[in-house]
Amino acid sequence: MVFRKPPDGGWGWVIVVVSFFTQFLCYGSPLAVGVLYLEWLDAFGEGKGKTAWVGSLANGIGLLASPVCSICVSSFGARPVAIFSGFMVAGGLMMSSFAPNIYFLYVSYGIVVGLGCGLLYTATVTITCHYFDKRRGLALGLISTGSSVGLFIYAALQRKLIDLYGLDGCLLIVGALSLNILACGSLMRPLESSESPPPEKPCVDKVPDQYFVYHEKEKTVEENISILEKGYVDEKCVNNVPDFKQDSILNKNVLSSINVNEKDTYKKKVVEQTNLCKQLAKRKWQLYLNYWEETLVLFKNKVFSALFVAILLFDIGGFPPSLLMEDVARSANVNEDDYHMPLISIIGIMTAVGKLTLGILADFKWVNTLYLYVTTLLMTGVALFAIPFAKSYLTLAMLSGILGFLTGNWSIFPYVTTKTVGIEKLTHAYGILMFFAGLGNSLGPPIVGWFYDWTQEYNTAFYFSGFCVLLGGFLLLLAALPCWNACTSQSSKLPPNTYSYKVASSA
């Protein structure tokens, strides 16, 4: 398939719109799962830690399976993957309405819906990157706000549906809404060249000549047989004398020569295919070795190592509020009449604002993206420490808005990764970091829930969350200090393949 130059417009804006709604429809319910979390606590009577696994799996499994999602999109294309994933998300939500216990939800909502969201995220980002080059940052920023807007709307929508139709009816209706992903996916037309490529030779013509020995000899044998038969028939016509004995001898000689040639050629073909398989296996093994060598080189970079620890600790501590804030308000005995807007909706809309604002700041030359990212981590840790002191809806709403805005640092995370390892290592490094981010998303809410089950209050849980985020921020700050680069340059010169984030250069 031959791709033409990204048009940076045209049908690309249709791709942006459908990708926005795709992320809106698929991530709306999983990100606003805090509303469902309260209902599942009452319906199944399980502990908070065990119940929190449902939402954490739905949000973390897609990141954990990001390598698999990338392979699927690369192999089948964005449009087929989006349509198939739409069925997964809708089917998982509808199946969850019939869940008899919490373990069924682990599979239907946690794994099926979560994996479908991961596939859709990869498909939307990939197809958008194909259509945009100069405006790629703007396009990706617009589609990324779809999940935040979905969180804002679905938090209120799911609460209203639960009041009207119950938990089961809510999941059925939300699953039916997710079927609109199929219409969005059908519009993700792949970017192909308008001019048809020159006709390729058949696959048979591309095979090296040595593999045609068997077929060529078969063809030669068939031609010989036809020539002999033709000559023999002509001779019979002239003499009009049947000679069955000569006919049988001739056929035996021809068949014996055919069998000998076939056996020799078949043996040669088996040997050649065996050698080819050995070469392919050796090449595949070498690729795996190169992959692990490149991974080790990445972890030799102290800033990248600190970044991987920071993103893991940030998701362990920073993700639980979006899932548990509603239960925090209920545990603090906040009056329901004071609720003007669900706390999760506030987190969602402020996350969208944070993504756009931090993304714009990152484009300024005088802003150091790594220092900006570290600042968001440290402020998030302080906000998490303040949650146990919030006893009213107003203070919880303010903290929810602050946490939502700071969670928008996801929009500058690719900038930080690029500056740390270089553009040529971005794909490899970003995949590793997203895996650990998914691990943090999966572990964070259950850990906070277990703290509550152990202490019967959220104070200790959010102290732990704040400590995790602050620790990750301080480690990343220490690794990025300019003095480390000075010490490294004085002690020894860096190898040509080692990447260093020079903070002073862009500060």
Structural domains of the chain sorted by starting position, each given as residue range(s) with its CATH number in brackets: 7-193 (1.20.1250.20), 274-484 (1.20.1250.20)
Query: What mean pLDDT value characterizes the chain?
Result: 77
Task: Find all residues with CB under 8 Å of 120, minimum gap 6, and list them.
Answer: 22, 23, 26, 81, 82, 85, 86, 89, 181
Is residue 303 within 8 A of residue 420, CB to CB? The reply is yes
**Could you tell me the two tokens for 184?**
């969005």
Q: How far apart are CA 281 and CA 293, in angstroms?
A: 18
**Could you tell me the two tokens for 438?**
């998914």
Is residue 49 within 8 A of residue 443, CB to CB? The reply is no
Task: Find all residues with CB under 8 Å of 32, minimum gap 6, and list them.
Answer: 150, 151, 154, 155, 158, 344, 345, 348
Is residue 361 within 8 A of residue 372, CB to CB? The reply is yes
CA 159: distance to chain centroid? 29
pLDDT at 184: 92
Is residue 154 within 8 A of residue 28, CB to CB? The reply is yes
Q: How far apart are CA 91 and CA 84, in angstroms?
A: 11
pLDDT at 398: 92
Q: Where would I find the H helices in 332-425? A: 343-362, 369-386, 393-407, 413-421
Q: What is the DSSP letter of 241?
A: -
List C-alpha distances in Å: 336 to 36, 301, 331, 340.
17, 50, 12, 9
Assign 439 to helix, strand or coil: helix
pLDDT at 267: 63
Quick one: which of 319, 303, 302 has its CA closest to 438?
Answer: 319
DSSP 281-343: HHHHHHHHHHHHHHHHHHHHSHHHHHHHHHHHHHHHHHSHHHHHHHHHHHHTT--GGG-SS-H
**pTM tops 0.95, yes or no:** no
pLDDT at 92: 95
Other CB atoms within 10 A of residue 400 CB: 30
CA dihedral 151, 155, 158, 163 (to 10 degrees): 180
Q: How many CA atoms lie within 13 A of 180 on its CB side?
A: 13
Q: Consecutive sets of 10 residues in the chain, 507 residues long: mean pLDDT of each?
A: 65 90 91 87 86 87 80 84 94 94 93 92 82 74 83 88 93 95 91 53 46 44 47 46 49 53 62 66 65 73 86 87 81 73 84 83 81 92 91 88 89 78 70 81 84 85 91 90 52 40 34
CA 48: distance to chain centroid? 28
Quick one: which of 133, 118, 150 has its CA closest to 31?
Answer: 150
pLDDT at 506: 33
